């Protein structure tokens, strides 16, 4: 049972331009809680083309939600933006992906001094200790999973189904070096299935564990329909050490979706298990132990994360019959579920340009920010959840 308890919603950004942060597994807030990161673009409801840049900025929550432009990028997508986020070990620095010619890079910007450092690879996620990033082939990702990669890049492996020399890269943020730690071919061979033949494999949704010692990632490939057209993708989910060793098959039962590490050895993931079906599962890394969280409570898949104290799960939903995306809080101790918001999503939006809520916690668990199109344009919104989380 879900109790409906809608909270007031504050719009932080204004049209006519569109604004969004992106994915749910990063902190848009700086450590002081004053500034919230956002990306600004001129259009919505279609894919970006080469030459259509995004403006990167900070929303000043203590100065009338003023949008402060700080950079631009030539590489962004609707679901995850340009991986725009605060560096883990410096309160004044942000990192984001960009493009130089046909090569993707990342840039570290000091928002106080304006100084920029360019890294030779784009980044997907950062380690909590501030030392490392993971990187993938964003051209391959753009081709195989539109809405998550970037156009305009060069891909030497465009015709290779399972490349031996492309995959997941570990990036040293301090020294600007990188090395391939897991290749597409390696995972394909280790966990081979006949339906992997003659179809490209790719990696997506990478995250470091909270202690920066392990990573989680998806290996995906597409099942082709009898008429020869590409169908939906299949997902195997893995964990590994950050050097690519000790690979562990967390879920090989065809589909894993959104997830977050909740502890150094725990992952909350909406996934499909043969015996119990689609649920939120809490996996224990490098074991076969799983636990269902909120069994049959929510309407389906959502972007799930835990509050910093581990007491609340935050998640959302895809549009139902009412074309609304729901926002939920779930008390992990009392097992009470609350619908704290409902947001109309225009069904005319093409799927790859959809505007998921992608809810993010503030660092003190008092607020949640979302991206939404319920007022007709894509904007960033804020909800005060302290009446639940700070009782």
Domain ranges of the chain: 2-389
Give the model's pLDDT for residue 254: 86
Give the model's pLDDT for residue 364: 97
CB 76 within 8 Å of CB 54 = yes
Residue 198 CA to residue 214 CA, distance in Å, equals 31
CA-based torsion, 105, 129, 127, 78: positive or negative: negative
CB 126 within 8 Å of CB 85 = yes
Which residue stretches of the chain are H helix?
138-144, 184-190, 386-389
Give the model's pLDDT for residue 225: 85
Give the HSE-up count for residue 166: Cα atoms under 13 Å, Cβ half-sphere. 20
Residue owning tokens 């290779």? 160
CA distance readout (Å), 280 to 23, 75, 256, 270: 18, 32, 10, 4
* Distance, CA of 226 to chain centre: 32
Name 10's Cβ contacts closer than 8 Å, sequence gap at least 6. 381, 382, 383
Task: Give the number of other Cβ atoms within 10 Å of residue 239's Cβ.
Answer: 21
2-389: which CATH number, 3.40.50.2000, 3.40.1190.20, 3.40.190.10, 2.130.10.10? 2.130.10.10
CA distance readout (Å), 310 to 245, 280, 389: 29, 15, 11
Residue 146 CA to residue 103 CA, distance in Å, equals 18
Residue 171 CA to residue 181 CA, distance in Å, equals 10
Q: What angle do CA 155, 156, 158 make, to 5 degrees?
A: 65
Structure letter (DSSP) for residue 97: E
Give the model's pLDDT for residue 391: 84
Give the model's pLDDT for residue 231: 86
Instruction: Take residue 321 and report the two structure tokens written for it.
Output: 């019959």
Mean pLDDT for each 10-residue chunk of the chain (391 residues)? 97 98 96 98 97 98 98 98 97 98 98 98 98 98 96 97 98 98 98 94 98 98 88 95 98 96 98 95 98 98 98 98 98 98 97 97 98 98 98 84
DSSP helix/strand/coil, 283: strand
Residue 250 CA to residue 245 CA, distance in Å, equals 15
If phi over 0 gives left and psi between -120 and 50 gives alpha, with beta otherwise, what is residue 80? Answer: alpha
Give the model's pLDDT for residue 229: 85
Residue 383 CA to residue 391 CA, distance in Å, equals 16
pTM to 2 decimals?
0.97
């Amino acid at each position: 049972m879900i109790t409906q308890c809608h909270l007031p919603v504050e719009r932080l950004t204004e049209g006519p331009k569109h604004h969004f942060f992106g994915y749910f597994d990063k902190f848009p807030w700086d450590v002081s809680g004053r500034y919230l990161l956002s990306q600004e673009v001129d259009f919505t409801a279609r894919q970006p083309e080469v030459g259509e840049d995004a403006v990167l900025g900070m929303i000043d929550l203590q100065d009338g939600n003023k949008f402060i432009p700080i950079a631009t990028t030539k590489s962004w997508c609707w679901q995850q933006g340009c991986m725009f986020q605060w560096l883990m070990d410096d309160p004044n620095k942000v990192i984001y992906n960009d493009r130089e010619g046909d090569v993707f890079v990342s840039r570290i910007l000091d928002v106080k001094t304006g100084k920029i450092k360019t890294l030779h690879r784009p980044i997907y996620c950062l380690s909590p200790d501030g030392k490392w990033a993971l990187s993938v082939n964003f051209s391959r990702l753009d081709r195989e999973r539109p809405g998550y990669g970037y156009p305009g890049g060069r891909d030497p492996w465009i015709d290779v189904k399972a490349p031996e020399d492309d995959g997941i890269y570990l990036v040293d943020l301090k020294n600007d070096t990188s090395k391939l730690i897991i290749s597409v071919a390696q995972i394909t061979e280790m966990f081979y299935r006949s339906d992997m033949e003659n179809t490209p494999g790719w990696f997506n949704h990478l995250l470091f564990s909270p202690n920066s010692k392990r990573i989680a990632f998806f290996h995906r490939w597409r099942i082709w329909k009898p008429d020869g057209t590409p169908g939906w993708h299949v997902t195997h989910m893995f964990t590994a050490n950050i050097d690519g060793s000790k690979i562990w098959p967390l879920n090989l039962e065809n589909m894993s979706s959104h997830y977050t590490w909740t502890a150094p050895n725990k992952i909350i993931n909406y996934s499909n298990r043969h015996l119990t079906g689609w649920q939120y599962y809490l996996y224990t890394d490098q074991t076969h132990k799983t636990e269902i969280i909120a069994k049959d409570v929510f309407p389906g898949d959502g972007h799930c994360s835990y509050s910093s104290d581990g007491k609340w799960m935050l998640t959302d939903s895809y549009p139902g019959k009412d074309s609304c995306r729901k926002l939920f809080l779930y008390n992990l101790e009392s097992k009470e579920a609350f619908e704290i918001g409902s947001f109309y999503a225009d069904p005319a939006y093409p799927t790859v340009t959809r505007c998921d809520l992608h809810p993010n916690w503030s660092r003190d668990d008092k607020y949640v920010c979302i991206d939404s199109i319920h007022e007709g344009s894509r904007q960033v919104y804020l909800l005060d959840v302290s009446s639940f989380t700070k009782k």
